[in-house]
Amino acid sequence: MKENFEQYYELASDFFKSNLGSQFLFYTLFYIVLWLLHLLLISLISYFHLILDHSIRTIGDWISDRGWIIIIIAKICVFYLATLFIGLKTKKIYSLKSYLRNSIQIPRLEILVTLLFLIIGIIGLGNVQFNKMMIFEFDRIIYSIIGTILFFGIDYAFLIIIDVFYPVRHADELKKRLIIFSILFYLFSNSTFIYEQTITLKHLIIFYLLLYVGEWRRRNWTIPLLFLIAFVVPLYAFMGFDPVWADLYSPFAAERKVSTFSFLILVAFGLGYLHYTLKKKPEYIYRD
């Protein structure tokens, strides 16, 4: 028993001394601050509503109705604080600028095929059709688009920053990184945005997809951005899968519920295809 404990302790100690462990700690710290700020926002909102003698139900409805706005404010504020801290505490800011310049990858045919496959697959699985019950409010669609981009994009951008400062390049560690941060993104989001979003395992799958294509062929940030804008945003803002407002303001809606398992299988086929093309031509060196 004692020997097992010592082995686990050594493994944990080695992990947190590694660059991957440092990334884990910084990402956890990022969400601790985000959780505290989000809690402060919710508390202030609740306080002023209680002063006006509003019921708990009214407060809950108000928070849900403005869910994306609260998420946008919280994420932007914490990301801004994080960049300030990093800018003051490190001299590697030039490495980040170099990464942004040198990690531009123009989408290849395989990427476009996968993207089209995912979009058509979702439309087919959910039997997505025109939403006759839609409440047309243009500003809500804009909030959904911006909120979706920031909800996933800020986390991805923060992981880029800490990866520049604590690089992980070993193949085994890269695989662990994809799994660890996808799980953390889901768990942290689920424990933070409990009042606004319906957090499901689809969030984990989407974030894993973004992380995977960010390492496909070589490190890049352009392909994840493409998947975020061309797949996740339409999925949330235009097809009725919005985790905050569902299909209330969406021009299209799914007539059939797409289960997490079906969504997982769909994404797995897409990633499997990308992985197959990667293994088929391992000698390929991509140049923009």
Would residue 37 count as lying in a domain? yes
Residue count of the chain: 288
Query: What is d(CA 103, CA 154) in angstroms, rounded to the nearest whole number?
Result: 17
**Under the phi-then-psi rule, with left for phi > 0, alpha for psi from -120 to 50, and beta for the rest, what region is 242?**
beta
* Residue 248: inside a domain: yes
**Considering its fold, how many domains does the chain have in total?**
1
What tokens were used for 104?
Answer: 């531009």
Q: CB–CB of 258/142 below 8 Å?
A: no
**143 in a structural domain:** yes
Q: Phi and psi dihedrals of 255, rounded to 5? A: -80, -25
Please check whether residue 285 lies inside any domain of the structure.
Answer: no
286 in any annotated domain: no
**What DSSP character marks residue 91?**
S
> Using alpha carbons only, what angle is made at residue 187 by residues 184 and 190, rounded to the nearest 5 degrees?
140
Read off the pLDDT of residues 241-255 as tens digits, 9 standing for 90 and up.
999 999 999 999 999
pLDDT in tens, 82-104: 988 877 666 677 777 788 888 88
Residue 198 lies in a domain: yes
- Residue 287 is assigned to a structural domain of this protein: no
Q: Which residue has the tokens 């799958």?
A: 205
What is the full DSSP assignment across 99-134? Answer: HHHH------HHHHHHHHHHHHHHHHHHTEEE-TT-
106 lies in some domain: yes
pTM of the model: 0.92
> What is the domain range of residue 231?
2-280
What does the pLDDT profile of the chain (288 residues) look like in tens digits?
666 677 777 878 888 889 999 999 999 999 999 999 999 999 999 999 989 888 888 888 899 899 999 999 999 999 999 988 877 666 677 777 788 888 888 899 999 999 999 999 999 999 999 999 999 999 999 999 999 999 999 999 999 999 988 999 888 999 999 999 999 999 999 999 998 888 999 999 999 999 999 999 888 999 999 999 999 999 999 999 999 999 999 999 999 999 999 999 999 999 999 999 988 876 444 444
